[in-house]
Amino acid sequence: QVQLQESGPGLVKPSETLSLTCAVSGYSISSGYYWGWIRQPPGKGLEWIGSIYHSGSTYYNPSLKSRVTISVDTSKNQFSLKLSSVTAADTAVYYCASHYGYPDWFDPWGQGTLVTVSS
Amino acid sequence: QSALTQPRSVSGSPGQSVTISCTGTSSDVGGYNYVSWYQQHPGKAPKLMIYDVSKRPSGVPDRFSGSKSGNTASLTISGLQAEDEADYYCCSYAGSYVFGTGTKVTVL
Q: What is the pLDDT of residues B13-35, one digit of tens each?
A: 999 999 999 999 999 999 999 99
A105, exposed or middle or buried, with CB in 10 Å at 0-12, 13-18, 19+?
Answer: buried
Which pLDDT does position A35 carry in this prediction?
96
Per-residue pLDDT of B59-107, as tens digits, reads: 999 999 999 999 999 999 999 999 999 999 999 999 999 999 999 999 9
Return the SS3 of B85: coil
**What length does chain A have?**
119
Q: What is the pLDDT along chain A (119 residues), one digit of tens a residue?
A: 999 999 999 999 999 999 999 999 999 999 989 999 999 999 999 999 999 998 899 999 999 999 999 999 999 999 999 999 999 999 999 999 999 888 899 999 999 999 999 99
Q: Give the span between the Cα atoms of B69 and B29, in whole angstroms.
A: 9
The pLDDT of residue B35 is 97
Side-chain-facing half-sphere of B2: CA atoms under 13 Å: 9
Shortest Cα–Cα distance, B79 to chain A (Å): 25
**What is the Cα–Cα distance from A2 to A105, expressed in whole angstroms?**
15
3-state DSSP call for residue A29? helix
Q: Do B36 and A111 touch (CB under 8 A)?
A: no
CA distance A56 to B35: 25
- Give the C-alpha separation, A114 to B38, whole Å: 20
C-alpha distance from B87 to closest chain A C-alpha (Å): 10
Mark yes or no for CB contact A106/B96 under 8 Å. Answer: no
